Amino acid sequence: HFTLQHSHANISQCLSLSLSLSLSLSLFLSFCSPEPQLKGIVTKLYSRQGFHLQLQADGTIDGTKEEDSAMFNLIPVGLRVVAIQGVQTKLYLAMNSEGYLYTSEHFTPECKFKESVFENYYVTYSSMIYRQQQSGRGWYLGLNKEGEIMKGNHVKKNKPAAHFLPKPLKVTMYREPSLHDLTEFSRSGSGTPTKSRSASAVLNGGKAVSQNEST
């Protein structure tokens, strides 16, 4: 009888210890969070051309003199690599294989931009996956003198069109965006945004894009 009681006591202690360890592990995991936490910034991107970059609800990308509608999440997704996401729209800025800028609801390889500090302290953003094949020259995010978005392969890094000055508003923590493959989405050459805004040849909200290199 004593042995049986002793055995029950041991089992009870083991169960109690196991439950305690399980709770401790759960608490540990909840504090550590299984998803990586990334420290990024909410910022405005001021172009050397005199405009704030903005990403409108309909997917249009352009420059504006209005500061209030031009806030972005700058999320680090690699070494000096960022995702640029509109704070209000939650759409990502992306560049396709033809150099056109578009917006995407999903984070894809076309949403990755290399962030480089230019010699005049301005920052440039170039596509991580597309560049000139022969020269290796990067394709850059850029605005012309009218505040219109330009084709990435017509923007030179030493010109004002490519130069942006981040104006950080606050530091914040982000969950790492889930990377989607480009083949997951339908690709269209019509120049009309699809519902997912992830088509290959989406022009800037259906607007013409400036081809002026010298701006």
Count CB-CB contacts under 10 A for residue 59: 22
CA distance 176 to 197: 21
Which residues does 30 contact at the CB level (< 8 Å), separation at least 6? none
pLDDT tens profile 38-74: 999 999 999 999 999 999 889 999 999 987 768 999 9
Domain boundaries, the chain: 1-34, 37-184
More confident residue, 151 or 8: 151
Question: Is the confidence at residue 21, as pLDDT, over 90?
Answer: no
Q: What is the CATH number of domain 37-184?
A: 2.80.10.50
